[in-house]
C-alpha cells in the first residue's frame, strides 16, 4: 500500500468533501513502517530533522513534486491516486520563524503535528 506524505497542503487541492484529523505520532509511526511512502515534501529545511525523528526517508523522488487532482478530485502523485494524505508540520520554539532556505535543526523544533486529510468518507473511522 502507498501513502502520500508531505509537509504542507495547498487548500486549492481540496475540491471535494474532506475531513482533517490530528494523528498521534505513535499511530503515524506504525502506518509509515507498513507502507510505501510517496513523498511530496517541499521544504528541504526540515527534511533531515523529520527523517531522523521518524526513522524513514521522506525525500521525494523529484525535487518539490506537484500533487495534482484526478477526475475524482482525489490527490495524485506520480500517477497514483490517493484517498488520504498525511501532512507533517513542525512545531517551532516560540518566536522562531525560519528564513527562506534556512536549515532548521532539532533545537528549533519542539515537536511535530501530523494531520490526515481524508477524502473518502468510508475511511473516516480509521484513526479514531
User: Cα(47)–Cα(7) distance, rounded to whole angstroms?
Assistant: 9
Q: Does 14 fall in a domain?
A: yes
pLDDT of residue 97: 85
Q: How many domains does the chain have?
A: 1
Q: Kindly report the pTM of this predicted structure.
A: 0.87
Q: What is the pLDDT of residues 37-72, one digit of tens each?
A: 999 998 788 888 899 999 999 999 998 899 999 999
Q: Which three cell numbers stand for residue 41?
A: 515534501
Q: Does 128 fall in a domain?
A: no
> Within 10 A of 23 (CB to CB), how many other CB atoms are there?
18
Residue 10 belongs to domain spanning: 2-123
Residue 113 scores a pLDDT above 80: yes
Distance of alpha carbon 55 from the chain centroid = 15
User: Cα(78)–Cα(62) distance, rounded to whole angstroms?
Assistant: 10
Amino acid at each position: 500500500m502507498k501513502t502520500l506524505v508531505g509537509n504542507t497542503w495547498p487548500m486549492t487541492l481540496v475540491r471535494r468533501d474532506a475531513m482533517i484529523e490530528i494523528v498521534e505520532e505513535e499511530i503515524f509511526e506504525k502506518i509509515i513502517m507498513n507502507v510505501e511512502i510517496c513523498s511530496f515534501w517541499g521544504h528541504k529545511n526540515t527534511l533531515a530533522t523529520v527523517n531522523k525523528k521518524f526513522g524513514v526517508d521522506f525525500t521525494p523522488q523529484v525535487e518539490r513534486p506537484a500533487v495534482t487532482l484526478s477526475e475524482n478530485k482525489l490527490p495524485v502523485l506520480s500517477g497514483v491516486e490517493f484517498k488520504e494524505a498525511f501532512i507533517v508540520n513542525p512545531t517551532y520554539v516560540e518566536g522562531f520563524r525560519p528564513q527562506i532556505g534556512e536549515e532548521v535543526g532539532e533545537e528549533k523544533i519542539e515537536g511535530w503535528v501530523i494531520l490526515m486529510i481524508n477524502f473518502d468518507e468510508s475511511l473516516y473511522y480509521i484513526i479514531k
